[in-house]
Amino acid sequence: MFGPTSSGRGQRRSWIAAGVVLCLAALAGCGATPRPVQDQTTAAVVAGAGQTEPRSAVPWRLIGPGWALADDFATPAAASKILSGSVILYLVDPQGGRYRLFSWPVKGAGPYGDLIDWSGDARRALFASLPTSNRTRELVEQLNLRTGKSNGFRLPANSFAVGYTRPDGKGILVEGYSASMTGKEPLIRYSLGGRRQKVIWRAPGIDSDVLSSPDGGELVADSYGSMALLRNAGGVIRHLYSPQLCGPVRWWNSATILASCAPHDSGASRMWLIPLSGAKGTPLTPQRRDAKARDQGDDDLFRLTSGTYLSAIGRRCGDGIVVREEPNGKVRAYTIPGAPDATIVAATATQLLLKEDRGCSDPFPTKLAWYDPVSRKQTIVVSPSRKDLGVLAVIPYYQAGKF
């Protein structure tokens, strides 16, 4: 599994391949997305840092890079109390404010889908519920963020939603799954109503981190770590340079993508710029080999006005850390107060949006915060109760470029 995993999409394939049935932990069960209840709070003009405003105050026309959707499970982590509380969908702005879009109660065995994507026109959120022993077909549902209405359809057996197409989210990418290491799996485009439109690619071991160009005309996907440039209309344009086992991370510019690559015998990934021409790529970070170093591998890279920052793997049970790249390949690690495990999920020119928790041994609750690496100041955006599960999925608005 390569590329970013903070959006929630990247981990879905590894769960399935391992034979694990998981709906954001076997915590709330699996199944259809509940029908949300609209928040009726009085409207406000705009959300400031640390403030919460209602859906009626959302400045929809301003939404772009730096915004994110966050799925907050205000639900006790204790197994005996998991069916109490509520799920809240927030819209997060770059200034540190949040908008409470919808919420729904957790009652009975009510199943919930996994928030996996956000349409490029900012109008819809995509939820998908993983199959269970009693239901072999994944349910895909879309929530209209302005009206609260939702619609859905079931995919064929052994098919799993990857995300929306770009630029506006007028289609849904779906991946077929094969238990065979050599069996070819399809990458298929579906209509929003569930009609199968086009088989884009067939290859063994297609990964779920499919990267779309900003205009949606091209895709980059990988088959067992070997990347290919595809036409959204179907077919392979060319196979890309893959120095190791690589996964696409972000469209860097019109001719290049950012990729995370790792040796076959190691999980110590490093960042590369890979030309879409098929030419040889350029490494941006060195190969991590020191088992005692704080940075054990790099999963994402952001260039802010204050420097280059990496979302990296720490040496303590795989917890995430934030580091700044220094000269000669050295890094400067940041200690985030109250967050031994921190993952960068989005950025602006000056700040990093972090998904934070207490570490892999005791991860809950998970919170969301903007972090200024120069001042070391944090603006907590979503801070759940210490006994809650917290933010289980964060989907940033589509980002391209250095940050």
For the stretch 40-82, pLDDT in tens is: 443 445 577 888 999 999 999 999 999 999 999 887 777 666 6
pLDDT at 99 over 60: yes
Domain annotation covers residue 28 = no
- Flag whether 215 is in a domain: no
Question: Residue 26 has what pLDDT?
Answer: 34
* β 139-144/282-283 pair status: unpaired
State the total domains in the chain: 1
The answer to whether residue 335 is domain-embedded is yes
Q: How confident is the model at residue 142 (pLDDT cuts 50, 70, 90)?
A: very high
Percent share of the chain, pLDDT over 70: 83
pLDDT of residue 4 exceeding 50, the answer is: no
- The four Cα atoms 402, 268, 285, 70 give a dihedral, to 10 degrees, of 20
pLDDT value at residue 295: 81
Residue 282 exposure: Cα atoms within 13 Å on the Cβ side: 7
Average pLDDT score over the chain: 83
3 pLDDT above the threshold of 50: no
Q: What is each CA distance from 253 to 245, 261, 292, in whole angstroms?
A: 22, 19, 35
Within 10 angstroms of residue 309's Cβ, the number of other Cβ atoms is 24
Higher pLDDT, 16 or 374: 374
| Gap between the Cα atoms of 148 and 91, Å rounded | 14
299 domain-assigned: yes
State the pLDDT confidence band at 206, using cuts at 50, 70 and 90: confident
What's the pLDDT score for residue 403?
A: 65
Contact 304, 403 (CB under 8 A): yes
56-70, 132-146, 363-377: least confident range: 132-146
In a domain, 326, yes or no: yes
pLDDT band at 199 (very low <50, low <70, confident <90, very high): very high
Which residue segment(s) compose the domain that 327 sits in?
293-379
φ and ψ of 153, to 5 deg? -155, 160
How, if at all, do strands 331-334 and 37-38 pair?
A: unpaired
Q: Which two tokens stand for residue 393?
A: 């999925």
Compute the average pLDDT of residues 134-163: 88
Residue 291's pLDDT is 76
Provide, rounded to the nearest whole percent, the portion of the chain with pLDDT above 90: 55
Contacts of 366 (CB under 8 A, 6+ apart): 355, 356, 357, 384, 389, 390, 391, 392
For the ranges 70-79, 108-117, 364-373, the lowest mean pLDDT is seen at 108-117
Average of pLDDT values for 141-161? 91
The whole-number pLDDT of residue 35 equals: 46
Phi, psi at 40, each rounded to 5°: -105, 15
Q: How far apart are CA 152 and CA 199, in angstroms?
A: 21
Least confident of 57-66, 157-166, 384-393: 384-393
Give the lowest-confidence range in 6-20, 135-149, 371-385. Answer: 6-20
Band of pLDDT at residue 117, cut at 50, 70 and 90:
very high
Torsions phi, psi of 346, nearest 5? Answer: -165, 170
How confident is the model at residue 12, as a pLDDT?
Answer: 45
For residues 87-99, give the mean pLDDT: 93
Q: Of 259, 232, 258, whose CA–CA distance to 244 is shortest?
A: 259
**Residue bearing tokens 């076959």:** 264
Indicate the pairing of strand 98-105 with strand 52-54. Answer: parallel
Range 155-194 burial, b when 16+ CB lie within 10 A, else e: beebbbbbbbbbbebebbbbbbbeeeeeeebbbbbbebee
pLDDT band for 240, please (50, 70, 90 cuts): very high
How many degrees, rounded to 5, is the angle at CA 104 between CA 103 and CA 105? Answer: 130
Q: Is the confidence at residue 36, as pLDDT, over 60?
A: no
Task: Output the pLDDT for position 134.
Answer: 66
| 384 pLDDT above the threshold of 50 | yes
Average pLDDT over residues 352-367: 85
Task: Tokens for 268, please give them.
Answer: 């110590």
Output the six-digit token pair for 246. 């690589």
347 assigned to some structural domain: yes
Q: What is the pLDDT of residues 316-336, one digit of tens each?
A: 776 898 999 998 878 999 988
**Nearest CA among 265, 241, 163, 243 for reference residue 207:** 163
Going by C-alpha positions, the residue among 36, 22, 34, 37 that lies closest to residue 112 is: 34
Q: Over 70: is that where the pLDDT of 209 sits? A: yes
Average pLDDT over residues 237-264: 95
Q: Where are the beta strands (DSSP E) in 276-400?
A: 282-283, 298-304, 307-313, 320-325, 331-334, 341-347, 352-357, 367-372, 377-382, 388-396
What was the pLDDT predicted at 297?
Answer: 87
Please state the rounded mean pLDDT for residues 262-277: 91
Give residue 107's pLDDT. 62
Residue 132's pLDDT is: 64
Residue of higher predicted confidence among 104 and 199: 199
Q: Please determine, for residue 17, whether its predicted confidence score (pLDDT) is greater than 50.
A: no
Q: Which two tokens stand for residue 318?
A: 């795989």
Grade residue 278 by pLDDT with cuts at 50, 70 and 90.
very high
Does residue 191 fall inside a structural domain? no
So what's the pLDDT on residue 16?
35
Residue 114 falls inside a structural domain:
no
SS3 87: strand
The strand order across the sheet containing 307-313 reads 298-304, 307-313, 320-325, 331-334
CA angle 48, 54, 57 (to 5 degrees): 70
- The continuous run of DSSP H or E covering 220 comes out as strand 218-223
